[in-house]
Amino acid sequence: MDIGIRQRLDQASERFEELAQLLAEPDVIANQPQFQSLSREYADLDPVIGLWQRYQECESAYRDAHEMLDEDDRSLRELARDEMATAEQRQNELETELQRLLLPRDPNDERNIFLEVRAGTGGQEAGIFAGDLLRMYCRFSERQGWQVEILSAQENDAGGYREVIARIIGRGAYSRLKFESGTHRVQRVPATESQGRIHTSACTVAILPEVAEIDAIDINPNDLRIDTYRSSGAGGQHVNTTDSAIRITHLPSGIVVECQDERSQHKNKARALSLLSSRLLESERASQRSQQAADRKVQVGSGDRSERIRTYNYPQGRVTDHRIGLTLYELDAVLGGALESVIDPLTEAHQEELLAEMSQS
């Protein structure tokens, strides 16, 4: 094991013991915010320390078996070699697990998200595809037990969307969907195509972590223009009879957000301000990351057909993620919400990149 990783694990062990002592102190227990913070840190370290202890046990077993190589009994020497091989294999497995647990955590991973889907090139077919993507994410969210709220939607004449924005509420939503940002391309024969020709259309997807109060952007009320209007619901119980929908324009940046999900103007305003805060914070983070080549893959792009992170090919029943060269012939399953087959390889590839960076540092 690399000496740097070993040192980090030793430091983690010392911190783990320190936390155990702190959590037993009456003053800490009485201070609930501090107690909860230290408890979370302790819980995060617990699996790391458990693996580290098992790794050290394997090291000890390897050393004990190695000493048996000096025995006169041939059968004991063979047993020692078998035990050394077993211990070495297990050490390698544990080391890989430990390295992954030591990777720096994204502070946004556990947060709710705002999902934004916009039709790009392709006319009405792009709008229909935007609806397909929205359903895909909604079904995936249902599989995770998450809640989805549609904040605003601009429908097109073909039953799709020019733009739709949703809030997805669930622990770990950002960690699972953060690699979905970018241009998604579809290749299929539209229902309106009489010649049977395959068309290519595109949509952009943006995944924004919901801003927590502790890091929310300070927004000057004088920088906002707030308009109210009547929600354009699909009918029935969703039609508003009052001007409860909210549109907020942030004048310095030109960012516009809308929310028409709730009948309460107050709730719509709160949701819209939360979305605005997330967009402003993401804009600030993006400008800080703009010089880093590794972050190009998470940029949404213009929505042009040539810019894409993933292609959904209907004639071949194929889904291809171009960032990692992944091709699956599971189109129906993926669009039906079984996104794990795409998300898991993306997460693993990202972890491999972080591990490579960690080993070079």
- Answer yes or no: are the C-beta atoms of 199 and 263 closer than 8 Å: no
Q: Which DSSP category does 105 fall into?
A: P
Compute the distance between CA of residue 338 and CA of residue 329 in angstroms, rounded to an integer: 13
Compute the distance between CA of residue 85 and CA of residue 79 in angstroms, rounded to an integer: 10
E strand or H helix at 207, and its extent? strand 199-209
Specify the pLDDT at position 327. 96
* CATH 3.30.70.1660 domain locations along the chain: 113-351
**Where does 113-351 sit in CATH, by number?**
3.30.70.1660
Mention the CATH class of domain 3-101. mainly alpha
Contacts of 129 (CB under 8 A, 6+ apart): 119, 122, 160, 184, 186, 201, 202, 203, 312
Instruction: Please tell me whether residue 247 adopts helix, strand or coil conformation.
Output: strand
* CATH 1.20.58 domain locations along the chain: 3-101
- Answer yes or no: are the C-beta atoms of 122 and 183 closer than 8 Å: no
pLDDT tens for the chain, residues 1 to 361:
778 778 888 888 999 999 999 999 999 999 988 898 899 889 989 999 999 999 999 999 999 889 888 888 888 889 999 999 999 999 988 988 888 787 777 888 888 999 999 999 888 899 999 999 999 999 999 999 999 999 888 888 878 899 999 999 998 999 999 999 999 999 999 877 777 789 999 999 999 988 765 455 678 888 899 988 876 654 334 444 567 889 999 998 888 888 887 678 888 888 888 888 888 888 877 765 554 334 334 445 544 444 589 999 999 999 999 999 999 999 999 999 999 999 999 998 988 888 777 666 5
Compute the distance between CA of residue 195 and CA of residue 59 in angstroms, rounded to an integer: 68
- Answer yes or no: are the C-beta atoms of 327 and 320 closer than 8 Å: yes
Specify the pLDDT at position 181. 93
**Would you call 27 exposed, middle or buried from its count of C-beta atoms within 10 A (0-12, 13-18, 19+)?**
exposed
